[in-house]
Structure 1
Amino acid sequence: MGTQAIEFLFDHLDAHLSVLTLPEKLAQMVASEFTLDATIRFKLGRWATDGLAPEFESDGCI
């Protein structure tokens, strides 16, 4: 995808988001996160958050 196409998409997205109410923006953000996580799950065969979290020491170091 060329630079002009990407700029067009972002301009269109900005115009779309500027007319949405806050609840609509939040709903769109949630849907976007769900779609992204589903895409990662499809590609990796697991949820993106299924990996082991590092254990932290009491001083904040891993």
Structure 2
Amino acid sequence: MDGSCGGTKGQKCSGVNCCSSSGYCGTSALHCGTGCQPAFGTCAAPKIRGRGVRISWKN
């Protein structure tokens, strides 16, 4: 699969990927937001768990 999806391409996105209105798989707001094609992938952006990364510097 080349990352394309949707009605004209006939391909579904794998896993948590959304199918954008322009016919490409991904997980960004552009893929999962307005125009997302639910028949060809999920239309919910994946939730990020955890508290992030803490970085400290020692001099």
Q: TM-score, normalised to structure 1's length?
A: 0.23
* TM-score in terms of structure 2 length: 0.24
Bigger fraction of residues in helix: 1
Bigger-Rg structure (1/2)? 1
Higher RCO, 1 or 2 (CA under 8 Å, sep at least 6)?
2
More strand by share: 2
